[in-house]
């Protein structure tokens, strides 16, 4: 069995010495240095920086700390200090020492070859290519200044592919009055109503459309996006959805609905018997709802056994995780019912 040796001495064979006797042999300054050394921890963020090391400054303060004067003094000292001369003077274009040669994997090499082929294909006309190649740095900067852009961005845009033009969507030609009439008489052919981006719908007319859902049994999808819907109209919709069981999808994105009214909408959907499986309310005028409102919405969604699609932006991860888990659970329950399994 090997014996323990420290500092050239056999520890196991050394005589027992009381720790009090060892401390008695030390002076007060040596004891303080030992305590500072044992207590210092440079990684401890819970103590001030001045006590994270064993050094203790015993000098008296010369006055209050002047941060501006200190920074000025540091700058003056740095400018006054002479620069160290290079042992070997720098010469442009000369490489000294071992030259680094990068190595690439097969995947990286293929990616580099692919980018090189794309850069080879994307070229300007011969005249433009010749003019740009012969242009000096001052010419490129002057041209970029004329075009009011950055020279680097100008070069990238010059070699970029031309932009594709897509025709804008045609304006929505749906007549709100005709929709109201068909919903009021419960027209069985009206399954989908799209009122997106129709401006100028009065609040009274929108409330009438929502109120017509009370006695309607044919409409399955309602989309009212970017129509300046306010809280009063949504309150009418909440009362109508308490009696409607045919609507499956509701889209109210891009309106002026307050967060508390949204929470009331989800609470109503969780308590009343309706058939909604998809609700989209993102992009309201007030996007930040706060933890209180988001918690109300999450509590209401968790109590809703029918909802499987939800379009809303949550700020807090905990709320988003609760809602996501519940929506997945609802979809899994639908799958189990389809297979004839027992759902808890």
- Taking only the tens place, the pLDDT of each residue in 201-237 is 899 999 999 999 988 989 999 999 999 999 999 999 9
Element (H, E) at 157: helix 151-158
Cα distances (angstroms) measured from residue 225 to each of 111, 172, 237, 244, 256: 43, 11, 15, 21, 11
Q: What are phi and psi of 194, to 5 degrees?
A: -120, 110
Neighbouring CB atoms inside 10 A of 227's CB total 21
Return the axis-axis angle of helices 290-302 and 317-338, rounded to nearest 10°: 10
Q: What is the pLDDT of residues 285-323, one digit of tens each?
A: 888 899 999 999 999 999 999 899 999 999 999 999 999
Q: How many CA atoms lie within 13 A of 124 on its CB side?
A: 14
- Cα 194 to chain centroid distance, Å, stands at 31
Q: How far apart are CA 123 and CA 119, in angstroms?
A: 7
Q: What is the pLDDT of residue 279?
A: 94
Q: How far apart are CA 228 and CA 226, in angstroms?
A: 6
Residue 180 pLDDT more than 70? yes
Q: What is the pLDDT of residue 162?
A: 66
Residue 12 pLDDT more than 90? no
| 259 confidence band (pLDDT: 50, 70, 90) | very high
Rounded mean pLDDT, 103-131? 80
Rounded mean pLDDT, 31-56? 77
Neighbouring CB atoms inside 10 A of 238's CB total 18
Whose tokens are 């006055």? That residue is: 63
Rounded mean pLDDT, 194-199? 90
Neighbouring CB atoms inside 10 A of 193's CB total 20
| 155 confidence band (pLDDT: 50, 70, 90) | low
The angle subtended at Cα 275 by Cα 269 and Cα 277, nearest 5°, is 80
Cα distances (angstroms) measured from residue 339 to each of 23, 201, 334, 336, 344: 80, 46, 9, 5, 14
Q: What is the pLDDT of residue 18?
A: 73
Q: What is the pLDDT of residue 318?
A: 92
Helix, strand, or coil here: 34? helix
Strands (DSSP E) contained in the chain are 5-6, 9-10, 192-194, 221-223, 249-251, 278-280, 309-311
Of 278, 281, 293, nearest to 256 by C-alpha is 281
Q: What is the pLDDT of residue 167?
A: 83
Q: How far apart are CA 210 and CA 95, in angstroms?
A: 77
Q: What is the pLDDT of residue 158?
A: 59
Rounded mean pLDDT, 74-101? 86
Rounded mean pLDDT, 253-272? 91
Strands 278-280 and 9-10: unpaired
| 151 confidence band (pLDDT: 50, 70, 90) | low
Give bridge partners of residue 309 from the DSSP assignment.
Answer: 278
User: Exposure string (b/e) for 314-328, b if CB count within 10 Å is 16 or more?
Assistant: beeeebeebbeebbe
| 17 confidence band (pLDDT: 50, 70, 90) | low
Q: What is the pLDDT of residue 3?
A: 46
Q: What is the pLDDT of residue 87?
A: 82
Give bridge partners of residue 249 from the DSSP assignment.
Answer: 221, 278
Q: How far apart are CA 199 and CA 179, in angstroms?
A: 15
| 194 confidence band (pLDDT: 50, 70, 90) | very high
Give bridge partners of residue 85 from the DSSP assignment.
Answer: none
Q: How far apart are CA 94 and CA 251, in angstroms?
A: 67
> Between residues 172 and 47, which one has the greater pLDDT?
172
Question: To the nearest whole number, what is the mean pLDDT of the chain?
Answer: 84
Neighbouring CB atoms inside 10 A of 339's CB total 7
Neighbouring CB atoms inside 10 A of 54's CB total 14
Between 46-50, 237-241, 266-270, the lowest mean confidence (pLDDT) is in: 46-50
């Amino acid at each position: 069995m090997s014996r323990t040796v420290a500092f050239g001495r056999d520890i196991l064979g050394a005589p027992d010495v009381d720790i009090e006797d060892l401390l008695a042999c030390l002076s007060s300054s040596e004891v303080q240095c030992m305590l500072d050394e044992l207590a210092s921890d440079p990684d401890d963020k819970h103590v001030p920086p001045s006590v994270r090391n064993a050094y203790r400054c015993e000098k008296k303060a010369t006055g209050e700390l002047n941060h501006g004067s200190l920074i000025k003094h540091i700058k003056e000292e740095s400018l006054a200090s002479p620069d160290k001369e290079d042992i070997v003077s720098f010469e442009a274009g000369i490489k000294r020492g071992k030259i680094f040669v990068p190595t690439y994997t097969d995947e990286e090499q293929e990616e580099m070859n692919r980018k090189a082929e794309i850069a080879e294909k994307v070229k300007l006309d011969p005249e433009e290519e010749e003019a740009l190649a012969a242009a000096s740095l001052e010419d490129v900067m002057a041209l970029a200044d004329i075009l009011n852009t950055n020279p680097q961005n100008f070069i990238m845009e010059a070699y970029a592919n031309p932009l594709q033009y897509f025709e804008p969507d045609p304006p929505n030609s749906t007549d709100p009055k005709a929709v109201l009439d068909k919903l009021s008489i419960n027209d069985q052919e009206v399954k989908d109503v799209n009122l997106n981006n129709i401006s100028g719908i009065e609040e009274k007319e929108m409330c009438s459309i929502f109120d017509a859902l009370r006695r309607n049994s044919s409409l399955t999808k309602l989309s009212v996006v970017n129509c300046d819907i306010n809280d009063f109209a949504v309150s009418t919709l909440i009362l109508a959805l308490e009696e409607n069981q045919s609507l499956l999808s509701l889209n109210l994105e891009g309106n002026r609905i307050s967060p508390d009214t949204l929470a009331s909408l989800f609470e109503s959907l969780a308590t009343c018997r309706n058939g909604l499986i998809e609700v989209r309310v993102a992009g309201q005028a007030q996007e930040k709802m706060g933890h209180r409102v988001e918690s109300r919405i999450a509590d209401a969604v968790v109590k809703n056994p029918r909802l499987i699609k939800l379009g809303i932006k949550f700020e807090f991860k905990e709320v988003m995780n609760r809602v996501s888990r519940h929506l997945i659970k609802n979809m899994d329950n639908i799958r189990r019912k389809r297979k004839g399994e027992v759902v808890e």
